[in-house]
Amino acid sequence: MAEPLEVNLDIVPTSRFQIIDVAPRIRAEVGDALSDFRRVLYCSHHTTAGYLEQGMCAKLGHSRKQLDPFFRFFQHLFPQNAGYRHDLMHLRDELSDEEKEVEPVNADSHLTFMGAGLKNCVTYRNHPDEPVYFIELDGVFKDIRRHRRTTVLGYQAEEIVHRERLRVPVSSAHTIDSHNLKDPSYGLFERFEGWLDRFGIDKGRIELRLASEERDAGLTVNEYETLLIRDDLPEALRDPLAYMVRRGRNLARHPETIPGKTRDYATYDLIHLYNEFLEHLPFGRSIVDRFMSVLSTPAYRILRLKRSVSLLVSSSAESGPGRIVSGTYQTPILVQHSQPQDGVCTIDVTLRSFQ
């Protein structure tokens, strides 16, 4: 059996939002070397660029024509330059004055990443004839093109080498709160590193999955910046429709054209989103209706937060300095939509080895 094959791609986007097919770039690097592998893992090193799960791409026909309106929908919900606290540089005490000058204004891209269900790490059944899209949400800032990196790893099979149920304390005074699972106080990554030493894993992945009984929580990998996670994200979760009204640029520009009631504001704007969905996406009216209906309640479902996330394990120096591959700002984040009675969230963690 062939050893897993790792390829690291450097990508320089040409626009802020870009749908980039990495398949031809991989072939340019290694020819058809990936074709013999049954599965391929794709890992983005960034918090505003990532991948959709293979099933979602299939629903969208693996087509840019259908992917584009899907992401435009979330960009409409989270418009650029809409006064997010994450974008108010005078509040970003962790940045120096020099860093504030070049720090991208990109809260909308982070929220779109989480809202659209993008992931840092996905595994696909290998279909060499199909495109694989790297979704870039923040590729250009002040005419500066960002430099992106993605790791691609082909393998035949994976073996579970260790599985453990962990109880994470999540006590908080806030109904909606987020928890940085990379925080040393939890000790999770120290534990994971111990597993890698114990089992000698060279290539694999660590999966964090909410236990089946967990109902009011979600997982993502993104930037754990206080203003983004503690202010902008909870505001979006509490009442999606009202949030869209407050942030929507079109509504703010033309208030005289909108009826007087708050819910009518949202209905007015949602008509355009609804029609755009029906026109471009292949889901059918009933599915679009269900998708839109979640926006009418103060529900977490506006964000397609996942019940699981994966972290790539690689000993290759090209994929980064650590064995658990992680971009500079990437952090696994647990989002609680309501606080559990016992103040604990249960997460099942599985370590898999690639073969």
**E strand or H helix at 125:** strand 121-125
Q: Per-residue pLDDT tens for 166-216? A: 999 987 777 778 999 999 999 999 999 999 999 999 999 999 999 999 988
C-alpha torsion angle, residues 47, 49, 55, 59 (rounded to 10): 130
Spacing of C-alpha 84 from chain mean position = 18
How confident is the model at residue 77, as a pLDDT?
A: 81
Per-residue pLDDT, 76: 82
Listed residue (149, 116, 139, 189) closest to 42, CA to CA: 149
Q: What pLDDT is attached to residue 254?
A: 45
Give per-residue pLDDT as tens, 87-143: 999 999 999 999 999 999 999 999 999 989 999 999 999 999 999 999 999 999 998
| Mean pLDDT, the chain, whole residue set | 85
SS3 for 75-118 is: HHHCCCCCCCHHHCHHHCCCCCHHHHHHCCCCHHHHHHHHHCCC
Conformational region of residue 284, where left means phi above 0, alpha means psi within -120 to 50, and beta covers everything else: left
**CATH tag for 5-239+298-354 (out of 2.60.450.10, 1.10.287.130, 3.40.50.300, 2.60.120.460):** 2.60.120.460
| Residues 347 and 166: beta-carbon distance below 8 Å | yes
Q: At residue 291, does pLDDT exceed 90?
A: no
pLDDT surpasses 50 at 144: yes
pLDDT tier for residue 21 given thresholds of 50, 70 and 90: very high
The answer to whether residue 334 scores a pLDDT higher than 90 is yes
Q: What mean pLDDT do residues 145-173 have? A: 94
Does residue 294 register a pLDDT over 60? no
